[in-house]
């Protein structure tokens, strides 16, 4: 047997590279983008400011932000060929499959021919991802072809306008802005690392982002907000949640939306979105899901010392904003493309192909046996 080297399953705790984009859980909690605390950004910035920050390392001036907004607005409408592709994706497909296929198709229709074009293609994806999911959704579930361009002031407003086919409330726009900021970037998580591995081969930016979307599609990475919605909607009230969770814990069932691979004491994003969950619940006059969520939080901390992650309180927030549960994770894509793209740019700027080694645990060397002698 070949001698094994020191390795860590899943690369946990292993440093795989350098980044100037993000710090995660340095002191057990906390999250920064280019040195700015995510809570500060969520309270004061727009998602467009944060997307600009991740791409260029600095918050934009007003003139820079205005130009960024105009560039995004100009690219919102989907090309007809992409609309036709989306129409042919079956209604039974998961919306994450739609996002993966839509991104790949976009890369065929509007190809990145040179890395000097990368900023234009990042704007293209940021602008078009909201329409990719909403066009497919309306075509298959509402039987209509929607207009995919708009003059909305932000990506958050644009998405909500396309989804609801009406002008969203300012509170909903603000809540979604905060959500997009919280989901924008998270260091070397699985999907970001997949994007960097792809980028290290010098592939085009759409291929790298498609790899990231495919990785996020896995239930161990994305989808926890959908699972959290299924959990909290299965309970009638906080008392029912207490009993139900205790039964699940006794049966050793997996409970999604709690704990984190990096954070040790709390997830700073959860603190922010919890407040928005409360405000949105109060706006619609229905606090039951929020109260159930809060009881789940209390039980999980009391019994397991597990805290809610970013996805947990997103569930009731999105639900009360009228967002279908299947679209929860695609919204993650709509935001995280800003972080993925920034990492792709960073990888390209100082590239070396990512090619780790593995410990061989197979058979000792063997001699080929002719098939007649087997």
Question: 189: helix, coil or strand?
Answer: coil
140 is catalytic: no
H or E element: which one contains 133?
helix 118-141
138 is catalytic: no
H or E element: which one contains 233?
helix 224-233
Q: In what order do the strands lie in the sheet with 31-33?
A: 22-24, 31-33, 36-37
373 is catalytic: no
Q: How far apart are alpha carbons 211 and 102 in whole angstroms?
A: 12
Burial 160-170, CB ≥16 within 10 A → b, else e: bbbbeeeebee
Distances (CA, A) of 300 to 25, 165, 249, 256: 20, 39, 9, 11
Distances (CA, A) of 224 to 158, 219, 229, 313, 331: 25, 7, 9, 11, 13
Distances (CA, A) of 207 to 43, 93, 105, 108, 340: 33, 21, 10, 10, 12
Q: How far apart are alpha carbons 271 and 25 in whole angstroms?
A: 14
Q: Which of 311, 314, 320, 343 is catalytic?
A: 311
Q: Which of 260, 314, 320, 343 is catalytic?
A: 260
Backbone angles phi, psi at 306, to 5 degrees: -110, 135
333 Cβ neighbours under 8 A, 6+ residues apart: 96, 99, 129, 213, 216
Q: Which of 69, 138, 140, 221 is catalytic?
A: 221
Question: 132: helix, coil or strand?
Answer: helix
The catalytic residue positions are 221, 260, 311
């Amino acid at each position: 047997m070949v001698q094994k080297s020191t390795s860590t399953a899943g690369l946990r705790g292993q440093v795989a590279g350098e980044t100037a984009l993000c710090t995660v859980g340095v002191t057990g909690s906390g999250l920064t983008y280019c040195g700015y605390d995510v809570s500060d950004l969520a309270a004061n910035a727009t998602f467009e400011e944060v997307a600009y920050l991740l791409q260029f390392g600095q918050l934009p001036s007003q003139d820079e932000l205005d130009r960024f907004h105009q560039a995004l607005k100009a690219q919102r409408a989907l090309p007809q060929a992409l609309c036709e592709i989306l129409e042919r994706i079956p209604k039974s497909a998961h919306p994450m499959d739609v996002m993966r296929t839509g991104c790949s198709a976009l890369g065929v229709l509007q190809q990145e021919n040179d890395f000097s074009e990368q900023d234009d293609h990042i704007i293209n994806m940021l602008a078009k991802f909201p329409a990719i999911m909403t066009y497919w959704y309306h075509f298959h579930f509402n039987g209509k072809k929607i207009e995919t361009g708009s003059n909305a002031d932000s990506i958050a407003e644009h998405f909500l306008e396309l989804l609801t086919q009406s002008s969203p409330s300012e509170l909903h726009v603000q809540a979604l802005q905060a959500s997009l900021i919280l989901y924008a970037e998270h260091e070397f998580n699985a999907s970001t690392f997949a994007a960097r591995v792809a980028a290290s081969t010098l592939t085009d930016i759409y291929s790298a982002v498609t790899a990231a979307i495919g990785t996020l599609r896995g239930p161990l990475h994305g989808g926890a907000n959908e699972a959290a919605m299924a959990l909290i909607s299965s309970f009638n009230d906080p008392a029912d949640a207490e009993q139900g969770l205790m039964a699940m814990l006794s049966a050793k069932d997996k409970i999604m939306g709690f704990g984190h691979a990096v954070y040790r004491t709390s997830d700073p994003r959860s603190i922010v979105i919890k407040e928005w969950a409360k405000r949105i619940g109060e706006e619609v006059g229905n606090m039951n899901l929020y109260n159930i969520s809060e009881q789940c939080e209390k039980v999980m901390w009391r019994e397991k010392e597990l805290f809610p992650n970013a996805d947990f309180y997103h569930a009731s927030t999105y639900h009360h904003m009228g967002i279908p549960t299947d679209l929860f994770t695609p919204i993650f894509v709509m935001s995280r493309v800003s972080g993925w793209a920034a990492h792709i740019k960073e990888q390209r700027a100082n590239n070396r192909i990512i090619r780790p080694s593995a410990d061989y645990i197979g058979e000792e060397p063997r001699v080929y046996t002719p098939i007649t002698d087997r």
